[in-house]
Amino acid sequence: MCLGVPARVLDVESRSGLSIAKVSIGGIVKEVINASSEPIAPGDYVIVHAGMAISKIDEDEVEAIFKIWEEVEKVIEAS
């Protein structure tokens, strides 16, 4: 199973012809390759998988994802 996680874009720069984004995932800052066909900018949200930003998502989707994760955590804690 593959898992993509939402991340907030902090910065974007071009390096050796690649678009490199600095992102925050749960407070951890990482650099990822922008493999999305859409341009991204600081403040945007992306789905990160295997070190690459694979798609841009809106803030409403991010909030929905976090709500689902919170519910999963509650079920795990209750077991």
What confidence tens digit (pLDDT) does each residue in 30-64 have? 999 999 989 999 999 999 999 999 999 998 988 89
Residue 26 has a pLDDT of: 86
Q: What is the CATH number of the domain that holds 49?
A: 2.30.30.140
Q: Is the pLDDT reported for residue 79 higher than 90?
A: no
Find the domain containing 51 and state its range. 5-78
Q: What angle do CA 66, 47, 52 make, to 5 degrees?
A: 145
Residue 3 has a pLDDT of: 83
| C-beta atoms surrounding 6 within 10 Å | 20
| Pairing verdict, β 45-49 and 52-57 | antiparallel
Q: How far apart are CA 27 and CA 47, in angstroms?
A: 15
If one counts the domains in the chain, the total is 1
